[in-house]
Amino acid sequence: MRKLLILTAFLLCFNLAVNAEDKVQPATQPPQQETSKTFITDTEDLEQIYRESEVPTFKYVHDVDPGESFETQQSTWSPYPLLKLASPIYFKTVIIQPGYYLLTPREQDGGWYMLFKEAGKVRYIVPIYKKEMVSMDFYKENIPKPKMTISQKMHLGMLNFVGNHVKSSQRKPEAQNYLEVSDLNDNFVSIVLYWGNYKYYIVVRTIQL
């Protein structure tokens, strides 16, 4: 009964806040994945890593990522970061054509690989050469919080209140993510995907080696 009274009072405050707004603000879009671009000059180690890495030979049944259905079953939109390519990039014999790709790290036979997915299908697979822990405050320092109106803040507070007190409405938080793309000397490109508690490194080229 006490929870019902608190929820009723919360809804009343929410309605008053909506009516008090003088202007209608545009809806805030879901937070976008951030992409940073930097220029790195030392590529000797990456060139060796590139040469020693092998082209993946495995494939998924019907080119479908088996882990995607589990990770997206409670998501309103895709939780994977989107990479837009305006020109081809290369990993040895793998030619990744221009387009929009959802990047997803996956473990296979003891190794880690980056999946380039398009329209629900795995189009390309590139080996991940390093996996590291993400620092505790990284996402807080690098991902800006979305700006919300008073009514949006009240609405979010109401949803959080219900989610914290009604078990059937609780959702598992989506993994936070961040994308770094670095242009290197000698036509190398470093892509670092921050996904949840880990970050994953791959190296590709703008021309074939």
pLDDT number for residue 165: 62
Say if 81 falls within a structural domain.
Answer: yes
Q: Domain count of the chain?
A: 1
Checking if the pLDDT of 132 tops 80, the result is: yes
Checking if the pLDDT of 26 tops 50, the result is: no
Q: pLDDT band for position 21 (50/70/90)?
A: very low
Say if 123 falls within a structural domain.
Answer: yes
pLDDT number for residue 144: 79
| pLDDT tens-digit map of 169-194 | 556 667 789 999 999 999 999 999 99
Identity at 64, one-letter amino acid code: V
Residue 42 is part of which domain span?
2-21+34-205
Say if 135 falls within a structural domain.
Answer: yes
Which spans in the chain are helix H?
A: 2-20, 44-52, 68-72, 138-142, 150-165
Report the C-alpha gap between 118 and 63 in whole angstroms: 10
pLDDT number for residue 158: 74
pTM of the model: 0.72
Q: Which residues is 183 bridged to in the sheet?
A: 39, 189
Pairing assessment for the beta strands 35-40 and 177-184 based on DSSP bridges = parallel
Say if 29 falls within a structural domain.
Answer: no
Say if 52 falls within a structural domain.
Answer: yes
Say if 174 falls within a structural domain.
Answer: yes
Say if 27 falls within a structural domain.
Answer: no
Checking if the pLDDT of 205 tops 50, the result is: yes
Q: pLDDT band for position 209 (50/70/90)?
A: confident
The larger pLDDT score, comparing residue 170 to residue 196, is at: 196
Q: pLDDT band for position 31 (50/70/90)?
A: very low
Say if 106 falls within a structural domain.
Answer: yes
pLDDT number for residue 152: 74
